[in-house]
Amino acid sequence: MNIRTIIFSGIMTALIGAMLGLAINHISQRESRKTVALIVGSSLGFFIGSGYEAIQQNKPDEEDFE
């Protein structure tokens, strides 16, 4: 497994999750929950992105089955 790729994928999806959290906060018009939405969005994005990349790297190649 390539740890750099996994961490990079996690950081990129964390940025996307943070933007989604800010968008949800803007729609809901609650300023008190701004930091919560940002933290939850970015942490969920990081874990989903890293997990997805780790699963993609662990998939066996099709050549192994031949």
- pLDDT score of 65: 59
Q: What is the pLDDT of residue 30?
A: 77
Among the listed residues 8, 10, 40, the one whose alpha carbon sits nearest the alpha carbon of residue 22: 40
For 54-64, the pLDDT digits (tens) are: 999 887 766 65
Q: What local confidence, expressed as pLDDT, does residue 58 receive?
A: 87
Spans of the chain, pLDDT less than 50:
none
Q: What is the pLDDT of residue 31?
A: 74
pTM of the model: 0.79
- Amino acid identity, residue 23? A
CA distance 64 to 51: 23
CA distance 43 to 37: 10
